[in-house]
Structures are given as structure tokens and as C-alpha cells.
Chains A and B, each alone.
Chain A
Amino acid sequence: MTVKVFHAELGTAVTTGLLGLAGMIGASELGHGWTESGPQPGYFPFYVGLILIGASLWNLVAAFLKHRAAHRHAASGGEVEEPFLDRERARRLGVFIAALLAFVVATLTLGIYAGSILYIAWSAWRQGGYRLPLALGVGVAFAVSLYLIFEVIFKIPLLKGPIEPLLGIY
């Protein structure tokens, strides 16, 4: 499956338009008028939302026009529209994003230290082709240096999970 630039443009324009709409709805609850002491709290978000919707519509139309032109160009024997993501890139990106997501979930449940050990070790092992013990070693070394820099030197507590208290680290 390949994603065309057209689809990406479309999706982005619709998303930013919805964001603008959300801004306008949120702002209209606060009042978006102009009183004698200047604008009400919702004034700026309301009009910024309106501008965002307008600009998104413009982008949407521009994407359609470009798409049609490209189609005509392709029909007359020109180059086909450039893909946004081909299959290979989409796969690579998909794996990376899935790993990112897993890292965030692991961090939220197990804490930053365990999360980053797992994530770094997994990447080095599965994607870098390093041996598992080495990969784990890199992960642990990273977590230990995080601990030293943040908690020992700068006294900033990072997010901890259920494992650290067992080791006597709070």
C-alpha cells in the first residue's frame, strides 16, 4: 500500500480544520466579543480558530487542484504523482512508531528507567543486530547514567514504576 501526497495533504488539512473548529467551540463558551475594556477571553482563540479553518480549506482546495493537474499530466503520459510513502518506507516508519508507542506505554507502566532499558536493548538487538547481552548492557548503562545525572547530581526525580522500590530506589 502506498500513501500519496494527495492523501497526506487531505488528512492534514482536515485535521487542522478540525483543530480550528475545536478552538472556536472552546472559545465561544468563554465569550468572544469585544467589551469596553477590550477583548473577552475567547476573542483571540475564536478568530484564530476561524483563520485556521479558512487556511485549512484553502490548503484542501489547493491539494485538490494539484491532484487534478497531476492526473491530467499523468494521463498525457507525464510522470505519475509522487508517493508520500512507498511500501518500504511505510514499513520502516511503522515499526519505528510502533516501538515509540510501546516505549511510551512501557514508561507509563514500568517507569522511565525500565522503559528505556527495554526500548534501547530491543532496538539494538532486533534492528541493529547486536547480541542480546550487549544490547541489554547498553540499555542498562544508559539508564544508570540517566539516574546519575538526574537523580544524583540534579536531584530531579524521574518517573518510576513498580520495580525501583524493590531495589530500594525511590
Chain B
Amino acid sequence: MTMTKAGLLAATAMMLAAPASAQFAPSRPVEFVVASGAGGGTDNFARTIQSVLTRDGIMDNPIVVLNKGGGSGAEAFLYARQNEGDPHKLIFGTNNVYLLPHVAKLAYTTEDLQPVAALALDEFLVWVKADSPYQTVMDLVNAAKDAPGTIPFGGSQSKDTDETLVALIEQTTGADFKYVPFNGGGEVGVQLAGGHVAANVNNPNENVGQWQAGAIRPLCVFAPERMAESEPVSGDMGWHDIPTCAEQGLDITSYQMPRTVWLPAGTDPEVLAYYQDALQKVSESQDWKDYLAKTSQSATFMTGEELAAFIDASEADAVKVFEAEGWTVQ
């Protein structure tokens, strides 16, 4: 419901702004508020955009990057609420912007932010150790059914996208894993390579190093179709050779994490249009395509109604999982 409203707002903003997009230009340094610590995936996302904007001369104003990763990113979103109507602050996040308020008692709602654009989709894969007995994702699921609550499944945090996905697998198949939250995808990758957990659901770039070395291997990807063709990564296997989870009989066709950019609520429609335009130029640049290829993320560019619809659907799916797990807070 909140999203339909924000979506409508964005849509009207688009219509109003289309003819008048040159009206707004930032008059002071623009703050890029990053909802993760320095070095995290969201941080790299924001800093890459910063470099493209500056190097290609899309935006002449100086850009300063502020990391506000406290409370799983909530710090950045609270900051947006405190700066309502400020056209010189862009907030960079993932789906945590609209999912966090469902699982934690926080002093902001999604209506305090206005979606600008989504520029990338990060894929999720199921990974196991190279010498593990599981050949398909269903082997893993069946093992968890045979011995409920004993197979340790690593993830980067509690009640985050990783645990949501694991919970979704459990709800879809009736399996029961033992979810162990660590700190960040990199750490989970190493825990898997060291054999301390049986599987994880890392994004491609969090695990690619260990895959190259042959310490771990992917079972399947949660996408409607296989990932884009690539050079072979490990042995003669490339990203495109990884089957989708649906192919292997796990009925979750799509689970992706969008990389999103937001404005504080209450800015003028021209402001929104200005940044949408600038980000569109970023998404068309060669540097951006290189970044996506290097980090194995899927390209997308969503704004306005399309973005609102995506957020609505993604939020509704996640909330269904949260409710079944009893994570939702009022």
C-alpha cells in the first residue's frame, strides 16, 4: 500500500518532469549517502556511479560520499527522513530500504524516501564446498529433509536477504536448515571454503574467488533464465553453465537484489527527473557495463512506474516470507 502511493508519486513526477527536465541543477556538493560501510557492495555501487558521473562530466558538481551503514543501513534511511526535501542528497541501498521496516522497529517508513532508479540486479546462487556430496540443489534440500535442523547454511546477516532466501527455500520445499548468520558475504564465502558450513547463497562476486580456486562450486542460480555468457571461470565452467534452480526442480524462479538509488521524500519533480536522467546516462556508459561484468551483476535500468511495480512485487514476496517466519514487527 505504501508502495503504490510512492509509485503513483513517482509516476506523476515523471509525467510532470518530462518536458522540464533542465530546470533543476544541483547548486552545492551532492552527498551520496551509502547504506553500508566502506568497502561493501553498496559502497562500491555508489563509488562507481560517482566516478562515472565525474569522469564523463554528467554532473559538474562535487560529490561527497558518506558511509552510514549502522543498523544494517537504517542509519542512512533515517538520515534521509531527517533531511526531507533536500535535493542534494542521494541515498544508495538495496532492497533493505523497503524491507528493513518490516523486520525491525525503526523510526522511518518507506514513504520517507522516494525511489529514483534501480541500476543493477545482483543474482543469488546456492554454493557448496567442492568436495560436498550434493550435485544439485535438490540433493541438498532432500538431505535437509532427512536430517532436519542439522545442515548448517551460512548467510551474511540475520533476517537479511540471505536468511529470507533460505527461509523461502524451506517454505517452498519443507526442508529445515540450520541458518548461521556471519558478517558479510566475504566471510561466509571463506566459512564455506573452510567447510564450517555446508552451503551458502552468496552473490556471484562474493564467491567467485573461491570458485576460481576450485574450493567451492555453484549448484544453481535463482533467476528465470541462466546468467549471461562469460569467459570460463573455473575449469571450463562459466556463469552461463550454471543451471537455474527451477531447472533443478526447486520452484523459486526469481530472487534478485536490486541496487537502488533514492531521494529524501518531498523533493520537487524536476529534481527527480534530473537524477533519473543523470543515472540513465551512467547506466549507458561503458564504465558501468564494465563494473557490471566485473561484479557479475545483471544490467537493468528501472525508474518511475516500472520501478514502483518491481518494488511492490519484491516487497510483497518478502513480507510473505517474513510473516510465515514470524519476523514482522508492528
Q: Interface residues, chain A, CB within 8 Å of chain B?
A: 37, 155-157, 170
Contacts and interface: CB of A to CB of B under 8 A. Distances in A.
10 contacts: A37-B178, A155-B62, A155-B64, A156-B64, A157-B29, A157-B31, A157-B64, A157-B66, A170-B28, A170-B29
Interface in B158-200: 178
A105 to B, nearest CB: 20
Contacts of B29: 157, 170
B7 to A, nearest CB: 32
A154 to B, nearest CB: 10
A156 B62 CA distance: 11
Contacts of B28: 170
Contacts of A170: 28-29
Q: What is the interface residue range for chain B against chain A?
A: under 10
Nearest to B28: A170
Given A37-B178, A155-B62, A157-B31, 7 more contacts: A155-B64, A156-B64, A157-B29, A157-B64, A157-B66, A170-B28, A170-B29
Interface string B65-79: 010000000000000
A38 B28 CA distance: 51
Interface in B48-89: 62, 64, 66
A156 B29 CA distance: 11
A29 to B, nearest CB: 11
A37 B178 CA distance: 9
A157 B66 CA distance: 9
Nearest to B29: A170
Contacts of A157: 29, 31, 64, 66
Contacts of B62: 155
A170 B86 CA distance: 14
A155 B62 CA distance: 9
B226 to A, nearest CB: 36
Interface string B29-61: 101000000000000000000000000000000
A159 to B, nearest CB: 12
Contacts of A155: 62, 64
A156 B28 CA distance: 14
A170 B28 CA distance: 6
Nearest to A41: B158
A12 to B, nearest CB: 29
A170 B62 CA distance: 11
A157 B31 CA distance: 9
A155 B65 CA distance: 9
Contacts of A37: 178
B246 to A, nearest CB: 31
A170 B64 CA distance: 12
Contacts of B178: 37
Nearest to B88: A170
Contacts of B66: 157
Nearest to A157: B64
A157 B65 CA distance: 10
A156 B64 CA distance: 7
B30 to A, nearest CB: 10
Which 7 pairs of residues, A with B, have the shortest CB-CB distance?
A170-B28, A155-B64, A157-B64, A170-B29, A157-B29, A155-B62, A156-B64
A163 B181 CA distance: 47
A156 B178 CA distance: 43
A74 B311 CA distance: 76
A37 B64 CA distance: 43
A156 B66 CA distance: 8
A15 B28 CA distance: 45
A31 to B, nearest CB: 14
B175 to A, nearest CB: 17
A37 B149 CA distance: 10
Nearest to A37: B178
A53 B31 CA distance: 44
A57 B31 CA distance: 49
B198 to A, nearest CB: 16
